[in-house]
Structure 1
Amino acid sequence: MPLSPPPAVIRGQGAIGLTLALLVLAAWLALHVYGVYFHRWSGWSWLVVPPLMALQTWLSVGLFIIAHDAIHGSLAPGHRCLNRAMGQLCVGLYAGFRFRRLEANHHLHHSESGTEGDPDFDPDAPGRLLPWFYRFFRTYFGLVEFAVLTVWLGVAIFVLGAHPANLIAFWGLPALLSAFQLFFFGTWLPHHHDGSAFGDGHNARSNGFGPLASLLTCFHFGRHHEHHLHPYLPWWRIPDLSREG
């Protein structure tokens, strides 16, 4: 059965979206501050590092998803400046990214999906994971981002006293792992060429993950074809489509 169009904005959407966004932000900041500045590598503390890294990786994915909702105006409907401020805060904390650049490229992704005009698509390697990821990484991480991170690392180490091992474990690795997680579940799986035809001009497909796996992998944006059909839905409303269909 075709998906029936849900209402573009529901009552309380801004309040719900901002509350969820602040919870993700607060959790990310708390874990970042603890891990980078207070974690000590002794005794049992080694045992908590892998699960905390996994949690911070997932929360880092969440930062990008909040910014993604801000790009579509679904985070705080009708409040463009608030959307942009929250989006910049999230991607800035994540890795010094520029929200306006991400915003422009993402709108191109939707209008030119799966074509040479799509900045998130690799027409030279449409079915190859690593070359496409390298292109994806280079598209969004340039000299400006490198300069910002260099300054931040210098401040963290030489001013605030962070240990390099803590920065690697609780910031660097979660940032890189979440970038790959976002790319794999939110870009490559939905848009790569695997020999089968796409259903329409969106050149996107959706995974068949259940609700929990869908949330843990990419905050439900693995249902990517549905997202392209309904880009005005925030991440937490995407599961509603299964009840609407």
Structure 2
Amino acid sequence: MTAKRLILPSGAMQGVIGLALAAAIAGSWLGIHAYAMFVFELSWSNLPFALAMAAVQCWLSVGVFIVCHDAMHGTLVPGKPRVNAVIAAPLLFLYAGFRWRVLRDAHHTHHRLAGMPGDPDFDEDHPSNFRQWYWSFFKRYFGWQSLVFVHAVVGVYWLILGIPMVQIVLLYGAPALLSSLQLFFFGTYRPHHHAPGEPFPDDHNARTNGFGTLASLATCFHFGYHLEHHRRPDVPWWALPAAKRAGIAEQSGLIDTEGRIVA
């Protein structure tokens, strides 16, 4: 078949768009957290608003991680690896005490060995079991440093600042934990799990979802367009719908050194 060419903005424009979206996502995430912890006072009367705020914060937490994921591929600000690292490193630390280099290296290993032994995101012993795979995924990434960081934050908020524990759990702990589940289900398990009668189309061992653009944004910031991402890791998250429209997941043929299909 004749390949459709996916046209991306220039590197400079891609950086402008990426930085603007990153600022909106991370700024909203930090702003809601600050309001929820230091201004808002939880009560039975405003519980519905608190639950809505927690849901939005969960979604924004997913977005923050996807921004950092783009930085891992150098697509947040193309050609500026230091800028990508300077943005992503503090965001990952604030997310759950994660270390930038560790996650970046693990993610590149995932791309090299997707769905095979040695892939840190894949559970070769339970390739179809959501619960067991998530548990191994959680243990692999949420190590002792993350636990120390989270417990330190909770301790400061509760014991020093006097924020009620129920408010900390609802508006800090729950969004963080649920966002990890959301990221895992839509961005790892669903694209890479083994399903009878659903073979993978190539050695990326990934599939893409059939969601529309809005549902794709709501579930995982388009990361569910996962085969497109594996075939074109040079495409930032906000351009993955264009990659899907271009039929990247359906195309077959030679791929050049930048991941572009040429035949």
- With structure 2 as the length reference, what TM-score do the two structures score? 0.89
Q: What amino acid maps onto 2:143 in structure 1? A: G
Residues 165-218 of structure 1: CA deviation (Å, up to 9, x unaligned): 111011100011000000000000000001121100000000100010000000
Name which of structure 1's ranges 226-235 and 88-97 shifts more when overlaid on structure 2: 88-97
Aligned-partner Cα distance in 2 for 1:2–1:60: 39
1:170 paired residue number: 171
- Give the distance between the partners of 2:208 and 2:2, measured in 1 at CA: 14
SS at match of 1:239: helix
Q: Distance in 1 between matches of 2:116 and 2:142?
A: 21
- Give deviations 1:98-153, integer Å, cap 9, x for gaps: 11111011001000000011000000000000000000001101111111222222
What percentage of aligned pairs have identical amino acids?
Answer: 45
Q: Distance in 2 between matches of 1:242 and 1:48?
A: 36
- Distance in 2, matches of 1:21 and 1:6, equals 23
Q: Is the partner of 1:238 in helix, strand or coil? A: helix
2:199 is aligned with 1:197: yes
Aligned mates of 1:137, 1:90 — CA distance in 2: 19
- Paired position in structure 1 for 2:258: none
Task: Tell me which amino acid in the other structure corresponds to 1:36.
Answer: M
1:8-35 superposed Cα distances (whole Å, 9 cap, x missing partner): 6625110110110011111111111111
CA distance in 2 between counterparts of 1:193 and 1:243 reads: 25
Q: How far apart are the structure 1 equivalents of 2:2 and 2:155? A: 53
Query: TM (normalized to structure 1)?
Result: 0.95
Structure 1, 161-170 or 38-47: larger mean CA deviation? 38-47
Alignment-derived partner of residue 235 in structure 2: 233
Please tell me whether the aligned partners of residues 109 and 119 of structure 1 are also in contact (alpha carbons under 8 angstroms): yes
Q: Which runs of 5+ in 1 are unaligned?
A: none
| Number of residues of Structure 1 aligned to a counterpart in Structure 2 | 245
Q: 1:166 to 1:110 in 2, by over 3 A?
A: same
Q: Give the Å deviation of 1:156.
A: 2.1
Residues 158 and 165, structure 2, Cα contact 8 Å, conserved in 1 = yes
Q: Is the 8 A contact 2:225 2:244 kept in 1?
A: no
Q: Deviation at 1:3?
A: 5.3
Query: Contact 1:204–1:225 at 8 Å: present in 2 too?
Result: yes
SS in 2 for 1:91: helix
Deviations 1:50-83 (A, max 9, x none): 2111100000001100110000000011111111
Aligned twin of 2:256: none
Deviation at 1:155? Answer: 2.1
Q: CA deviation at 1:95?
A: 0.9
The gaps in structure 2 that reach 5 residues or longer are 248-263
- Give the counterpart of 1:215 among 202, 214, 217: 217
Query: 2:30 is aligned with what amino acid?
Result: L
AA aligned to 1:242 is K
Match of 2:6? 6
CA contact (8 A) 2:42 2:50 kept: no
Aligned positions of 1:1-245 closer than 5 A: 4-7=4-7, 10=10, 11-195=12-196, 196-245=198-247
Greater shift, 235-244 or 21-30, is seen at 235-244
